[in-house]
């Protein structure tokens, strides 16, 4: 299941998407995140998966600002750290 964290406003979409079917719970994304945006949660299926912390969901554009890539390079640290490819983003 894909969980979308973020929001849409007049200037665009700002979402991080985590696919719980691909997440192995390795916590590599959490160690890679310079802004302490991510945490591990137990989802509705009792799987331990990565998620965006509540306090960052409505301000992800700002929380993740220091990682914002130019022309998709370099990839976001959390995306690069996720070997199974469970994390994607749109903004
Ligand atoms: S790096 Fe990927 S697989 Fe590992 S906990 Fe984070 S989202 Fe899940
Ligand atoms: S984009 Fe950067 S700040 Fe945002 S969750 Fe990923 S690593 Fe953390």
Query: What are the residue ranges spanned by the domains of the chain?
Result: 2-90
- CB under 8 Å to 64, separation ≥6 — which residues? 14, 16, 35, 37, 76, 89
Residue 64 CA to residue 27 CA, distance in Å, equals 18
pLDDT at 90: 85
**Can you give the pLDDT at residue 34?**
95
Task: Give me the pLDDT at residue 72, please.
Answer: 62
CA 72 to ligand 2 centroid distance, Å? 14
pTM for the predicted model, two decimal places: 0.92
All residue ranges of the chain with pLDDT < 50 are: none
The topology (CATH level 3) of 2-90 is Alpha-Beta Plaits (3.30.70)
What is the distance in A from the centroid of ligand 2 to the CA of 11?
19
Angstrom distance (rounded) from CA 64 to CA 43 = 23
> Nearest residue CA, atom 6 of ligand 2?
78
Distance 72 CA to ligand 1 centre (A): 20
- C-alpha 18/C-alpha 89 separation (Å) is 9
């Amino acid at each position: 299941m894909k969980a979308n964290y973020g929001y849409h406003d007049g200037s665009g979409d700002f979402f991080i998407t985590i696919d719980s079917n691909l997440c192995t719970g390795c916590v590599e994304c959490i160690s890679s995140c310079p802004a302490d945006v991510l945490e591990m949660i137990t989802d509705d299926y009792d799987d331990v998966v990565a998620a965006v912390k509540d306090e960052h969901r409505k301000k992800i554009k700002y929380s993740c600002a220091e990682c914002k890539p130019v022309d998709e390079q370099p990839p976001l640290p959390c995306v690069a750290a996720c070997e199974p490819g469970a994390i994607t983003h749109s903004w």
